[in-house]
């Protein structure tokens, strides 16, 4: 320790350390911000501190002085967190103004101050502590922090002049060092706490940043699966609850009448559910003008995020009715972000929190980004739903048209008929599958099955034309199926139907030579269609394959006068109890197998269902189609098993085609 200069009675010439006579500025080092910050962070003041009081007791007894102090000096006072022997009223105050402070000079000079007789010392002889506290001898050692800031002094005080020995001053310096170490430990704990808080804040900021990044990453992908507007609302809730964690998520969309329409959620009643208590809320929140003062309307109108950190901020900006609604919802903070569209906002996304929340800039960026993704998803969903409504309306119209054409078939007494038509189970448009059955004047029953290319209204219209043309040609031509289909080819050209189609057209006849045995004959021609299925009375099933022939409409494109001889007739006898099944490809097509496998399945099931009633046969076959990838039309015909030979008729013979 540097041996401080002393002054007092008996010292020759009263030599004084030069630092003792340095004049202090008005505030000097006492006002240094870094020193004052450290002083504040010690947490010490005018309250008694157990450790500091113990140190002053040690000073008092070891140096045998009446008073010992741990004095911390501010710009306007000195405080004694450690104190021993100080008289009243100062003991109760545990502080004095600087007018009574010797320790301020220790702080100002950052050096020990040793006074043997204050009455003769030029630095302190006018100090009021001399006259009011009886301070005559004083020895003070600086108390400093790790950075060298002098916070105060550990001092020993005597009420009579005293020459301080080197041993006493060394002891006081050691105790001051101990006191400084304690102060530094306290400041280190404060620094550690500060660093921990800073680190926690950084960690929290990093977590929020990671959460926001993950939220935005999820948002960029999540909306791709949203099919409906409600899906988008649900996705928004799932996304923001991972990062922003609101208690409420709402979605309001702008309609073509500049009205905001809030999607239904559990927090708001619909108008038909409301009571008098909730009438105001339902009217204001479910449907409202774009000019309304609600945050969602303001966000949609201005295209900017609107946020209120707490209820007080919300109440200051809104009328009484909305303040009551906000309070009824139990929300504090609220934010609304516009949902962007190609020509301006299409609505707003609203988030609410049950506690005050000041959104950070990064939160607002995340909110705006999520709203951007949501706006795009909403546009897609609205377009998809509008398209679905259009498709559904068109489908219903086409189904109505198709069913109006596919009326119940004519059923003669001597034959049993069953028909079925089912549209595809997917969202595909209605196709051109059709069937028909009608009786000619010569007594023959005509049956037909067909499939027009395409799945749209043109296909349905073409189906109606072909079906009508086939009937007309069959009535007028009174000829074989091959001739009828050839004439139909010609009509397709002449009338510019402009389509491709497959068809099987057949006549069920009973020539005189077969009637005696109760046998009928099917005569048919096939224009590129699947072969008919025959189940004989013994329960055997087979497909009536023929040589492939051109589709309807193909030959006519190359020639205005088709070659009628190019189409062929085929015949087969139908024993009593035989079943003939005409069908379109929707019955046997499968996504995971080829057509041959589907036809093989049909033959196998026909054998198993051979003894079933005709209606049940059709229903069972349709029930086993796993997924209707195309329309299905079926026409099943069964000759009566009980048919017996009939006696010759006495009336005129009904003309039948030649055998």
What pLDDT was estimated at residue 391?
62
Range 404-413 average pLDDT: 63
pLDDT at 659 over 50: no
Cα separation values, 60 from 112, 140, 175, 294, Å: 18, 13, 11, 72
Residues 564 and 556: beta-carbon distance below 8 Å: no
Indicate the pLDDT class of residue 176, thresholds 50, 70 and 90.
very high
What pLDDT was estimated at residue 429?
53
Q: Which residues contact 327 (CB under 8 A, 6 or more apart)?
A: 311
Cis-peptide into 89, omega within 30 deg: yes
Nearest to 379 by CA among 229, 496, 202, 512: 229
Indicate the pLDDT class of residue 605, thresholds 50, 70 and 90.
very high
- Taking the C-alpha atoms of residue 403 and residue 426, their distance in angstroms, rounded to an integer, is 18
Q: Tell me if residue 45 falls in helix, strand or coil.
A: coil
Nearest to 377 by CA among 408, 414, 346: 346
Weakest-pLDDT range from 15-24, 283-292, 355-364, 393-402: 15-24
What pLDDT was estimated at residue 656?
45
Which phi and psi angles does 526 have, rounded to 5°? -120, 120
Is pTM beyond 0.75? Reply is: no
CA 290 to chain centre: 25
Q: What is the pLDDT of residues 469-507, one digit of tens each?
A: 889 999 888 889 999 999 988 887 777 666 788 999 999
Residues 506 and 446: beta-carbon distance below 8 Å: yes
Weakest-pLDDT range from 87-101, 177-191, 560-574: 560-574
12-26, 250-264, 311-325, 570-584: which is most confident: 570-584
Range 19-38 average pLDDT: 67
Count how many residues are written for the chain.
659
Range 156-184 average pLDDT: 95
What pLDDT was estimated at residue 28?
63
Higher pLDDT, 55 or 389: 55
Q: What is the 3-state secondary structure (H, E, C) of 505-574?
A: EEEEECCHHHHCCCCEEEEEEEEECCCCEEECCCCCEEECCCCCCCCECHHHHHCCCCCHHHCCCEEEEE
Range 350-356 average pLDDT: 90
What pLDDT was estimated at residue 179?
95
pLDDT at 8 over 80: no
Helices 614-623 and 595-608: crossing angle in degrees, nearest 10, is 140
User: H helices of 244-306, where?
Assistant: 276-286, 295-302
Q: What is the pLDDT of residues 214-247, one digit of tens each?
A: 665 565 556 666 777 777 777 777 777 666 788 8
Which residues are registered as beta bridge partners of 73?
78
Range 309-337 average pLDDT: 88
- Taking the C-alpha atoms of residue 570 and residue 562, their distance in angstroms, rounded to an integer, is 20
Range 531-548 average pLDDT: 94
Question: Residue 436 class from Cβ within 10 Å (0-12 exposed, 13-18 middle, 19+ buried)?
Answer: buried
pLDDT at 272 over 70: no
Half-sphere exposure of 658 (CA within 13 A, CB side): 0
Cα separation values, 308 from 313, 336, 462, 551, 616, Å: 6, 9, 63, 71, 68
Indicate the pLDDT class of residue 281, thresholds 50, 70 and 90.
very low
Cα separation values, 223 from 115, 127, 240, 435, Å: 82, 79, 13, 45
- Average pLDDT over the chain reads 81
Q: Which residues contact 153 (CB under 8 A, 6 or more apart)?
A: 69, 71, 73, 102, 103, 106, 107, 113, 140, 141, 142, 143, 176
Which phi and psi angles does 129 have, rounded to 5°? -65, -25
Range 25-51 average pLDDT: 86
Q: What is the pLDDT of residues 619-650, one digit of tens each?
A: 999 999 887 778 899 999 999 876 555 555 44
Residues 65 and 59: beta-carbon distance below 8 Å: yes
Domains and CATH numbers, the chain: 12-191 (3.30.450.40), 226-386 (3.30.450.40), 406-639 (3.60.40.10)
Weakest-pLDDT range from 345-354, 492-501, 531-540: 492-501
pLDDT at 462 over 80: no
Higher pLDDT, 215 or 165: 165
């Amino acid at each position: 320790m540097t041996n401080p200069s002393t002054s007092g009675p008996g010292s020759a010439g009263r030599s004084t350390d030069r630092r003792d006579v340095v004049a202090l500025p008005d505030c000097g080092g006492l006002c240094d911000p870094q020193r004052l910050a450290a002083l504040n962070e010690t947490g010490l003041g005018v309250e008694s501190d157990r450790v500091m009081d113990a140190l002053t007791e040690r000073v008092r007894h070891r140096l045998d002085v009446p008073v010992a102090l741990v004095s911390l000096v501010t710009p306007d006072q000195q405080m004694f967190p450690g104190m021993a022997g100080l008289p009243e009223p100062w003991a109760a105050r545990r502080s004095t103004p600087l007018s009574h402070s010797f320790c301020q000079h220790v702080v100002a000079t950052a050096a020990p101050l040793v006074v043997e007789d204050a009455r003769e010392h030029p630095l302190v002889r006018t100090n009021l502590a001399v006259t009011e506290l009886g301070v005559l001898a004083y020895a003070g050692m600086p108390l400093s922090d790790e950075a060298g800031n002098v916070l105060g002094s550990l001092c020993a005080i005597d009420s009579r002049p005293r020459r301080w020995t080197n041993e006493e001053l060394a002891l006081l310096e050691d105790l001051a060092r101990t006191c400084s170490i304690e102060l530094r430990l306290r400041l280190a704990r404060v620094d550690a706490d500060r660093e921990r808080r800073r680190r926690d804040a950084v960690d929290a900021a990093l977590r929020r940043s990671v959460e926001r990044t993950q939220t935005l990453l999820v948002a960029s992908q999540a909306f791709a699966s949203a099919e409906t507007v409600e899906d988008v609302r649900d996705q928004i809730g799932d996304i923001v609850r991972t990062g922003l964690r609101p208690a409420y998520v709402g979605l309001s969309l702008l309609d073509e009448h500049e009205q905001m329409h809030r999607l239904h959620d559990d927090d708001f009643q619909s108008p038909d559910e409301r009571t008098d208590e909730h009438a105001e809320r339902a009217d204001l929140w479910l449907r409202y003008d774009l000019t309304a003062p609600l945050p969602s309307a303001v966000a949609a109108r201005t295209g900017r995020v609107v946020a209120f950190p707490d209820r007080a901020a919300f109440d200051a900006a809104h009328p009484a009715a909305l303040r009551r609604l906000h309070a009824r919802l139990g929300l504090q903070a609220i934010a609304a972000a516009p949902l962007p569209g190609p020509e301006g906002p299409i609505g707003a996304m609203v988030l609410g929190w049950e506690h005050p929340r000041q959104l950070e800039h990064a939160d607002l960026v995340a909110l705006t980004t999520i709203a951007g993704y949501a706006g795009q998803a909403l546009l897609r969903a609205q377009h998809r739903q509008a398209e679905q409504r259009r498709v559904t309306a068109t489908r219903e119209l086409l189904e109505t048209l198709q069913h109006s054409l596919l009326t119940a078939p004519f059923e003669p007494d001597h034959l049993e008929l069953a028909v079925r038509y089912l549209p595809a189970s997917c969202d595909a448009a209605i196709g051109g599958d059709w069937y028909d059955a009608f009786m000619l004047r010569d007594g023959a029953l005509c049956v037909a099955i067909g499939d027009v290319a395409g799945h749209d209204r043109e296909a349905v219209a073409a189906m109606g034309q072909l079906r009508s043309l086939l009937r007309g040609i069959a009535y007028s031509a009174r000829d074989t199926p091959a001739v009828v289909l050839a004439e139909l080819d010609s009509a397709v050209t002449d009338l510019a139907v402009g389509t491709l189609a497959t068809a099987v057209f057949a006549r069920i006849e009973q020539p005189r030579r077969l009637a005696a045995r109760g046998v009928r004959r099917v005569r048919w021609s096939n224009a590129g269609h699947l072969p008919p299925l025959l189940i004989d009375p013994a329960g055997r099933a087979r497909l009536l394959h023929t040589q492939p022939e051109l589709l309807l409409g193909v030959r006519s494109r190359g020639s205005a006068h088709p070659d009628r001889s190019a189409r062929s007739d085929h015949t087969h006898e139908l024993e009593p109890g035989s079943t003939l099944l005409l069908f379109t490809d929707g019955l046997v097509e499968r996504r995971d197998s080829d057509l041959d496998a589907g036809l093989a399945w049909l033959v196998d099931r026909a054998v198993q269902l051979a003894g079933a009633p005709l209606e049940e046969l059709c229903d069972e076959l349709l029930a086993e189609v796993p997924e209707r990838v195309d329309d299905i039309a079926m026409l099943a015909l069964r000759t009566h098993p009980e048919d017996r030979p009939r006696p010759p008729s006495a009336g005129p013979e009904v003309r039948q085609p030649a055998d």
